[in-house]
Each structure stands twice: as structure tokens, then as C-alpha cells.
Amino acid sequence: MTLSQDELNELRTMLTCGFEQLDTAFAGCMEDAVARLSRDGVKTMLEGASLICMIGRGYEPVHVFLEEMPEIAERLGEAVIEKVSQAVWKMSRTPNGKAILPFLQTLGEAARRLGSETLFCQYIKIVFDMMESTTRSTHGFHQTIPSPGLPEMLGQMPFLLSQLSLEGLRNWIEYGAKHYLTHPERQIDYFTLQSADSKAILQRERHGTLFADNERKMGLYMRAMWQEKAAQFVPYSLGFDELRKPLPYFDELGLRVPDVFDDYEDPGIGIRVKGTDRYRAVLAHMAAHRRWTQAIFADNFSPFQRIAAEMFEDCRVDTLAMRVYPGLRHILQSLHPMPIEDGCDPTVESCVRHRLAMFSYAIMDSEYSYKNKDIIEFVKRFNEVMEAGESSTQEIAALALQFVARTRRQEDQSANVYFADTTVDYRDDNRHMWKFYELGDEEEMFDEQDKSKAEQDEKSKGLPPRHYAEWDYLGKTYRPDWVSLYESLHPQGDGAKIDAILTKHAALAKRLKQILDMLKPQQYVRVRYQEEGSELDLDVAIRSLIDFKAGTTPDTRINMSHRTDGRDIAVTLLIDLSQSVNDVPDGSSQTVLELSQEAVTLLGWAIDHLGDEFAVAGFSSNTRHEVRYQHIKGFSEDWNDTVKGRLAAMEAGYSTRMGAALRHAALTLAARKAGKKLLLILTDGEPSDIDVDDQQHLIRDTHKAVQELDQLGIYTHCISLDAKADEYVSDIFGSRYTVIDNVERLPEKLPQLFLTLTK
Amino acid sequence: MSDVSQYLVSEEPFYQAVGNEVELYEAAYSERLPVMVKGPTGCGKSRFIEYMAWKLKKPLITVACNEDMTASDLVGRYLLDANGTRWLDGPLTVAARIGAICYLDEVVEARQDTTVVIHPLTDHRRTLPLDKKGELVKAHQDFQLVISYNPGYQSLMKDLKQSTKQRFSGLNFDYASGQVEAGIIARETGCAADVATKLVKVGETARNLKGHGLDEGISTRLLVYAARLIKRGINPNQACRMALVAPITDDADITATLKHSIDAVFA
């Protein structure tokens, strides 16, 4: 007790608050406060507490405030005390009273993580921005409905702060607040990290080096330096297992690596390892195991012996890897923890891990300073074995057994295991090192069969969905994996119908044929520098004459000839098959679908005639979860009865989500080798879908998709049948569109349009 | 008649035999079989031919082929001079006359209508008709034709016609195995043996990436360049970046991987 009763009483008078519970806790809180804060600081804090007492939320907020504030204020400066009490007061003036207690509870963690007053104030502002944007009103006057996500989000805050920078936190919150503003249940799912996109955004905003960004680099690394030709990577997330961090490992399905690595920093000794190098360390260690480790039988080993054998084997393969690539030593040594020799007290704790980690460190760093005789002896023996050659898993395991036997202690059995500085996090879990005489009866054995069955079922259903991102113009970000697209083969109908259409349009076809014939032998290209050719190339001829007059050897290749260049175009035609194409336009006797069918028939016939590569597909959508992409003709298919059959069976339904369809069509088109790539979209209206309220959203997304296609070298052109299309179509396609007002003339216009585009 | 001595290789070029290619070549030469040497760039094809010419003490005429080369560039042409016209032999004709080894480097680069002029020289006839001059040149008994060819381009447009290919006997070249290559680099540049070994290791990592963003791995020639830079006192990491990474790729990921491998090897 450093405070006298009088001093306590004086402080108590400064706090205007009548809760009974306060009397018991007050003395303890004040001890702490006086020890950490200045006299003015304590006064400000008590004033703040009086304010919080008045908000009518009971005793608990006051208690948390008094308990947390001294530490926070000591860390960040006393100016924050008033800011916090004012923030709490402000919050109590909104319908979000319930969030006050969770808010106060996050402050301690926030102060520890953020460490500066500016950042701390930014944090409070972010929380308030979120609160303000998600607190809704019924009739637009007063805010009456509390924010559903706020208390939930504050509950997740310690985890969020550990994963995200403040910037990332703001982005994550803004995404949720914007997209689930009108949907309280979904908002709660988002802010409790239950929903898939919540996790996806969190993933995107995390700090550190994402594996996804470096996958190719790591594939090249494995191929170049370890000759692992077909390394399959399976990233796993570190974000959701707080208690037990998963370790890297590998099996026949691939190499499991963490999805994100922060740069490793140890300012004390001035070490810094970049995230990509940490990945390389993990991969190098696994590759070394794959190259040098042979599995040995585990059945006769005790758990301790196995741990030791694993550690010794890890050291062996690291040594071999560093022998091949000496530069690895720097990285591996930096990442290896440095156990302190007397860090573990063998009389009260189990020091097995500690001893092994010391051994491992001593192998890594030849200038180690350990005094333990056993360690020194075994490091020497280990090095002797390794100097003789590569050794083997079996031999090194035998050495490990001797080490265990020599250093065994009674207390090793203790449940109190010493863990600090004993985990080498670039090393995998060594499951590949062991084999068993008897296959166990572990649970995995049972569901093995089920899995293969489930996979088979999946396969028979058709292609798995492909996921595409969608552009969010308000947030200026992509919504990751937002749309699921299912590609399927279009059902087949009667191909004769298509031939009938061609007969019907025989006159048009004849005219088209004339144009086609003119198009076919096209593009004369000059071939210069010919000894013999059809014409004299004057430029070269004059140059030669000058040379000749000047007395040097003239170039005799003074002629030029011509050759015709082949057409080198790949075309994909994308047909909008949404419900609206079933309408019969004014002044017409046929539906838009029928007209499109005729037009596509003629176009197909024309392109086939020209010999250009082309593909046809239809698309429609039923919310973002189901975009249907129906394959009608592929690039390698001929213009035959099967294709005509699919074209004849075209049916319309649902809505028009254009962006995903464009992105998917681009996938196959971009892979073609043609010099020019053209994507034609035949549509009767603007992009829309029933799960999107904001008209602009899909228009902007489609525009973004067109830009992406541009970057892939694909020229996109839209043929719109919507007479009112002028309002939006140029927003999407720029100047690359044609509006056909008189839909009746579509069959005639479409092939002509194609021909002018490709002339 | 041209001056033969200028085509003779006067000093012994350094060539490290990897297999029995010297023996094979000598046998082919004694039978005057045309030879095709195939292999990736910078693996020692041209050096080998130079060495063989020296060893056999025969003149060597080298023609670097290119797209604009015509049959007249090989065979010869009429030139105008003050007195009218004068015939000038092309390199192929000269070689046939003086009994030299005629080496057509990167023969696929020449157009196919150009390469057919070598046909009569490469079968039992061993003659070269000069139709413009109205002369049939009978090849000297020492004459031999050698072409080199890099199959790595894998281009549809650039390949030899079957009728051309089937006139040659072939020798396959590749980068020498690690130790031998290190020896070559050390001998060629006079650098320390361990530097050469390390350079070869870097070269191997790049060769593993062939077809995955790299069209060709790092050639022995580039490794020699790197060794020379190192010998001049340049820091090995920088020398490797300059000689081994910058010339072969613009791809950021591959650059990063190669740089890492350099760091890992030159610790």
C-alpha cells in the first residue's frame, strides 16, 4: 500500500460515481494508476471515468476503463485518456450502447499492437466510421437501429489486429460495411469472419508476402535449383489456427506451404530475411528431404527417439543442402532460433526439445558458445559422420538414439515441456520420414474410400465451376472469386433447321459470297531484295548504281515481288441467351432469338468459307452463383451437323451477366496463336442480373472486362440489338460497337459487319 | 587462285573433347563425308570445327548464313569492271577449288532455295555447277562441307529440308558435364577452379529452366564471359548478373530466381 487512506479518499471524491462495486476495486486501480501516471493524468482519468459512469451502461465499462487506461496512457501518452472517454461518451449518444464494453476491451490490445498515439487515434476513427456507416435509420430522421456488425467485429479485433495493418483493417471493414449494409445477418457473418468473402478479403489485405503472388517464382526455384520438375504447391492458411500453427509438409499430393510469410526481422542482431527467401528456405529444406531422406521404420522408436531422429535428420539434410548451395547458410541460420543454454531448468521442466534445438543450432553455427559436454561431443561426432560423405537417414537416426540415451533425464517425462526457441519454422513436420510395419487404424484410413467416391460423383456432373472476380467500381477493387461460371456443352437439336435457314437466305448468301470471294485473296505484301522479281525496286536499284559508280560491289538484288498474305484471325462469337431475347420486337414476326440464330448461321457459314478460326458460345446467368456458359462450337470443331444441331437448339432464359462470360471466352481465345483476335458479342440489352440492384455495377464490371481483354490483345466488338443502347453501350465498349435498330435486318448485317471488321 | 594460307588455322585453338567426337570427325573427314554439328548456342560447335581444321591442317572457310543470303553469295557472281565483266568466286566455290573445309554456320537461317546449291557437292558427285559461268567445278579432294544447326529454335519456319538433312552425317553437341565444363572455363580463362565450379552450378540451374520461360539455358560461352569479368576483379555476384542473367531474360520471376541461385552458390 503506497497510498494512504486520506489520499485515497481525496481521489475518490474526484470520481463522481455511486456504484457499490467500485468501493472494493477502487484502491487496486488507483495503486496502478498512481504508479504509472502523473497527478494530472490520474485526474483526467477520474474525470473520464465520471463521464463513463454517467452514460447509463452500468458498472462494467467504468471498471474496464479504470483497469485498462493506466497501461494504455503510460504506453501512448496521457493525451489519449480524454480521447477515449470522449469516444465512449460519443458512442453512448448513438444506439450502439451495447458495443461500448467490447470497444473498451479492445483498447488494451490495440495500444499494444499499434504503439503510437496517432495510430491509436486512427484506430478509434476507423471503428467510429464503421459504426456511423452501419447504424441505420427507419425513416431517415434519427439513427435508431444499432449497427449489427459492430459488437461482433470488436469481438474479433485482437485477431484482426494481429493479421492486418491499420490500412488493411480499414479496407476489410469498408468492404463489409458497403456490401452488407442492407443485410444484417450477412453483415454479422462477415464481421464474425464466418463468410467466405470475409476470409478472402482478409487474406488479400494481410501483411506479408503472399504465396499466391510468388507461386511462379517458387516453381522456377524448385525447377532450377532442385530439379523438381513437377512441384505442386498447396498453400495452407495460418490465419485461422491460433493454438496450433500448422507446419509445412509434403506428401504425394504436393508441397504444403503457408499462404503468407512476414519478413523475418530480428533487430537485436540486425537480421532481416525477406518473405520470398523464407519460402525458399522452406522449399529448400523439403527438397533436401526429398533428395536425401529415405523413410525408416518407426515402430520400434519411442516418441522421444523419434523427435531426436527427426531433428538429427533435419540437420543432416540442411548440411547437405548448404554443401550444394553455400549461400543458403545465411538464410537458414538467420531463421534458426538461438536457444539460450540455461534457458531451461531441467529440474522442473522437460528439456528434450531445448537440448535438441541447441544441438541443431550448434550444427548450423560453427561458432556456437554452448558449454554442455554432450552437445559438444555429439556435434563433433555428427560433423565427423558428415565429413565422410552424405551419411544416411538410418545412420544419423542411430546417432540420435545415442544422444537420447546419453542425455536422458527423469524430468523429460514431465508434462511441463520447455518450448521457447525450439521451433525451427522453415522445417517441415517430417511425416515422410517414417514408415510403419503395420498400417494403423487411424481415422484417415476410413474416409479414404469415401473421398475417391465423392470425387467420382463430382466428375460425372460435368465441369467444376470456374470462379471469376468482378470489378467493384465503388470500391475500386476486385471482388475475389465472386462469380461461379459453369461451362457445359449446349444440347443438340436438329441440324437441318440451320440448312433450311441457309436456303431461306439464299439470295443474301449469294451476295455475301461475292464479298467473300473478293476478300479471300487479300493483302499483297511486298517482298524486297529479290534477285529476280516482278518489278524493279527503285530504291535499291539506285543504291546499287551508286555503289557501282563508286567502285564497290553493288547489291544485285534490285527487284521486288509480291505475295499474298493469309488471313490470320481467330474469332469468338458470344451470344446473349437471356430471357429477353425471347421477345418479338416491334414490327417483326420473329423473336430476337430466331433472328440471332439466322444471323449466326449466316456468319458461321461466311467465316467457315473464309477459313478463319472461330468459336461460338452462348451465355446467361442466374445470380452470381450460376453463370451458364454454353459451348456451341469450338475452334477445333468443323462447321458440321453437330455444331449446326447445337445452334438449332438454342434456348433463352435468365439474365445477362456479361463480365464473367467475357473473361471466360477470353481464356480460350487468348490461347490461340492467331495474329488478330476478335471477340464479337451479340446482345439485346444491357448487362443485368437479379441479385444486383445497382445498374451501374455490371456495366462498369463489363467495361473492366473489356479492358482486361484489351490487355490480352483481344479486340472486342459488341453488336447491340437494343435501340436504346446508346445510353450505356459506349460506356462499356468505347467506340467498338454497332447498334442495329432494325432487328429484322440482323441476318444480313451481322456477316457484313464481320467482313468489314476483318477487311 | 586465292591465297590458301590465310584460311589456315595457325595456332591451336583450345578444345576439350567431351566424348569421341574428334575420332568420329576424323573418320568422317577421311571418307570426306559432309558433317552436320547440332547443339545449343555457345556449346562449342564452331570451336570444334576450328580445332579440327587445325588438327587436320586444312584451310577453313566460314560463312555465317542469314536470311538475305542468296545462292550467288555462296557460289559467286559476275562483277562489272572497266573491261566488262569479271567472275568472282563465292566462298563455297573457293573452298571447293582449294580443298578447304567449308563451314556454313547457322545454316537454317538461310532460305531453303539457297541451301539447295550445296546438294551436288554433298553426294557422290562432289561437283559444283556454276551455271552462270558455264563451268563445272570439281571439288578438290580435300574439300569437305560442314554445317551447324541449332535445333533449339523449334520454329516451323526454320528447319532444314529432308533432302538437305539426309546428305549429312551428324554430330550432337551439348553442354559438357559439370566437371568438364568447369575445367573448360578454368582453362579458357585462367580463373580459379572453385570459381569455375560455382559458375557451372549457376549455369545448371538456368538450364533446368529451359522451356519454362527460357528458350535456352546459359551457354558455356556466357560462363566464360562471367569468369573473365571475375578475373578482372569484378565481384562474382555482379559479374554473374551482368554476364549470365541480363543477356538471357527480361522475365522478372526468372531474373529473381537466377539472382537467388547466384547468391546461393556464391555465398
- The string of pLDDT tens digits covering residues A266-306 is 766 777 888 889 999 999 999 999 999 999 988 888 888 99
What is the pLDDT at residue B153? 58
Q: Whole-number mean pLDDT of chain A?
A: 84
The confidence band for B224, taking pLDDT boundaries of 50, 70 and 90, is very high
| Most trustworthy range by pLDDT among A14-23, A565-574, B244-253 | B244-253
CB-neighbour burial class of residue A105 (10 A; exposed 0-12, middle 13-18, buried 19+): middle
* Nearest Cβ partner for A224 among B77, B209, B266: B209
**What is the pLDDT averaged over residues A539-561?**
81
pLDDT tens profile B79-103: 767 777 788 899 999 999 999 999 9
**What is the pLDDT averaged over residues A610-636?**
89
The confidence band for A719, taking pLDDT boundaries of 50, 70 and 90, is confident
Angle between helices A393-407 and A373-387 (to 10 degrees): 170
Using alpha carbons only, what angle is made at residue B21 by residues B15 and B25, rounded to the nearest 5 degrees? 100
A interface with B, Cβ–Cβ < 8 A, is: 216-217, 219-221, 223-225, 227, 276-277, 280, 324-330, 529, 531, 548, 553, 556-557
> Cα(A554)–Cα(A544) distance, rounded to whole angstroms?
5
From chain B, pick out residues whose CB is under 8 angstroms from the CB of A220: 209, 212-213, 253-254, 257
Interface test with A, best of B80, B257, B259 (most A CBs within 10 A): B257
What is the pLDDT at residue A16? 83
Q: Whole-number mean pLDDT of chain B?
A: 89
The confidence band for A399, taking pLDDT boundaries of 50, 70 and 90, is very high
From chain B, pick out residues whose CB is under 8 angstroms from the CB of A531: 70, 72
Percent share of chain A, pLDDT over 70? 92
> Cα(A360)–Cα(A291) distance, rounded to whole angstroms?
20
* Nearest Cβ partner for B72 among A224, A277, A531: A531
Please judge whether A225 and B261 are an interchain contact, meaning their C-beta atoms are less than 8 angstroms apart. yes
What are the extents of the domains in chain B?
4-172, 178-265
Please judge whether A556 and B208 are an interchain contact, meaning their C-beta atoms are less than 8 angstroms apart. no
**What is the pLDDT averaged over residues A11-35?**
84
What is the pLDDT at residue A142? 66
What domains are there in chain A, each with its CATH number?
5-205 (no CATH), 209-435 (no CATH), 496-517+567-758 (3.40.50.410), 524-564 (no CATH)
Question: For residue A149, is pLDDT > 50?
Answer: yes
* Nearest Cβ partner for A223 among B208, B264, B265: B208
Please judge whether A220 and B253 are an interchain contact, meaning their C-beta atoms are less than 8 angstroms apart. yes
Percent share of chain A, pLDDT over 90? 15
Å between B103 CA and nearest CA of chain A: 24
What is the pLDDT at residue A533? 82
What is the pLDDT at residue A460? 44
From chain B, pick out residues whose CB is under 8 angstroms from the CB of A553: 79
Parallel, antiparallel, or unpaired: how do β-strands B101-105 and A613-621 relate? unpaired
Please judge whether A327 and B253 are an interchain contact, meaning their C-beta atoms are less than 8 angstroms apart. no
What type of residue sits at position A262? D
* Nearest Cβ partner for B77 among A223, A328, A556: A556
B interface with A, Cβ–Cβ < 8 A, is: 68, 70, 72, 77, 79-80, 201, 205-206, 208-209, 212-213, 253-254, 256-258, 260-261, 263-267
What is the pLDDT at residue A134? 86
Using alpha carbons only, what angle is made at residue A308 by residues A303 and A313, rounded to the nearest 5 degrees? 125
Å between B223 CA and nearest CA of chain A: 17
What is residue A417's DSSP assignment?
B
From chain A, pick out residues whose CB is under 8 angstroms from the CB of B264: 225, 325-328
What is residue B243's DSSP assignment?
I
- Give the residue from chain B lying closest to A332, CA to CA: B264
What is the pLDDT at residue B33? 94
From chain B, pick out residues whose CB is under 8 angstroms from the CB of A559: none
> Cα(A652)–Cα(A577) distance, rounded to whole angstroms?
5
> Cα(A630)–Cα(A614) distance, rounded to whole angstroms?
15
Residues 6+ apart with CB under 8 A from B266: A326, A327, B198, B236, B237, B240
For A629, phi and psi rounded to 5 degrees? -125, 110
* Nearest Cβ partner for B68 among A216, A329, A529: A529
> Cα(A597)–Cα(A599) distance, rounded to whole angstroms?
5
Percent share of chain B, pLDDT over 90? 64
Question: For residue B154, is pLDDT > 50?
Answer: no
What length does chain B have?
267
Using alpha carbons only, what angle is made at residue A247 by residues A244 and A253, rounded to the nearest 5 degrees? 130
**What is the pLDDT averaged over residues B65-75?**
85
pLDDT tens profile A370-391: 888 889 999 999 999 999 888 8
| Most trustworthy range by pLDDT among B107-111, B184-188, B252-256 | B184-188
- Give the residue from chain B lying closest to A227, CA to CA: B208
The confidence band for A458, taking pLDDT boundaries of 50, 70 and 90, is very low
Range with lowest mean pLDDT among A34-48, A451-465, A601-615: A451-465
Q: Which three cell numbers stand for residue A535?
A: 518489278
**What is the pLDDT averaged over residues A737-746?**
78
Å between A256 CA and nearest CA of chain B: 20
From chain A, pick out residues whose CB is under 8 angstroms from the CB of B267: 325-330
From chain A, pick out residues whose CB is under 8 angstroms from the CB of B68: 529, 557
Q: CA dist B45 to A98, A397, A569, B157, Å?
A: 81, 50, 40, 23
Please judge whether B68 and A557 are an interchain contact, meaning their C-beta atoms are less than 8 angstroms apart. yes
Residues 6+ apart with CB under 8 A from A700: A471, A473, A731
Please judge whether A224 and B257 are an interchain contact, meaning their C-beta atoms are less than 8 angstroms apart. yes
* Nearest Cβ partner for B257 among A221, A326, A529: A221
What is the pLDDT at residue A74? 86
Residues 6+ apart with CB under 8 A from A146: A94, A95, A96, A97, A98, A99, A135
Question: For residue A703, is pLDDT > 50?
Answer: yes
Å between B193 CA and nearest CA of chain A: 16
From chain B, pick out residues whose CB is under 8 angstroms from the CB of A227: 208
The confidence band for B2, taking pLDDT boundaries of 50, 70 and 90, is low
Please judge whether A531 and B212 are an interchain contact, meaning their C-beta atoms are less than 8 angstroms apart. no
What is the pLDDT at residue A459? 43
From chain B, pick out residues whose CB is under 8 angstroms from the CB of A529: 68
What type of residue sits at position A146? P
Residues 6+ apart with CB under 8 A from A719: A680, A681, A682, A683, A737, A738, A740, A749, A750, A753
From chain B, pick out residues whose CB is under 8 angstroms from the CB of A556: 72, 77
Percent share of chain B, pLDDT over 70? 96
Angle between helices A592-610 and A746-758 (to 10 degrees): 40
Find residue B102's DSSP bridge partners.
B61, B145
Interface test with B, best of A221, A222, A559 (most B CBs within 10 A): A221
Please judge whether B208 and A216 are an interchain contact, meaning their C-beta atoms are less than 8 angstroms apart. no
The confidence band for B56, taking pLDDT boundaries of 50, 70 and 90, is very high
pLDDT tens profile A52-98: 888 888 888 888 898 888 888 888 888 889 899 899 988 888 888 88
Å between A530 CA and nearest CA of chain B: 9
Q: Which three cell numbers stand for residue A116?
A: 503510437
Question: For residue A457, is pLDDT > 70?
Answer: no
> Cα(B135)–Cα(A758) distance, rounded to whole angstroms?
53
The confidence band for A736, taking pLDDT boundaries of 50, 70 and 90, is confident
Q: What is the ipTM of this complex?
A: 0.71
Label each residue of A341-398 as H, E or C: CCCCCCCCCECHHHHHHHHHHHHHCCCCCCCCHHHHHHHHHHHHHHHCCCCCHHHHHH
> Cα(A472)–Cα(A698) distance, rounded to whole angstroms?
9
pLDDT tens profile A468-518: 999 988 888 888 888 999 988 888 888 888 888 888 888 878 877 776 676
The confidence band for A443, taking pLDDT boundaries of 50, 70 and 90, is low
The CATH code of domain B4-172 reads 3.40.50.300
* Nearest Cβ partner for A220 among B254, B263, B267: B254
Contact in structure between A292 and A336 (CB atoms under 8 Å): no
Residues 6+ apart with CB under 8 A from A741: A723
pLDDT tens profile A652-701: 888 989 999 999 999 889 888 877 788 889 888 888 888 888 888 999 99
Question: For residue B155, is pLDDT > 60?
Answer: no
Residues 6+ apart with CB under 8 A from B250: none
**Of A352, A360, A308, A310, residue with least CA distance to A333:** A360
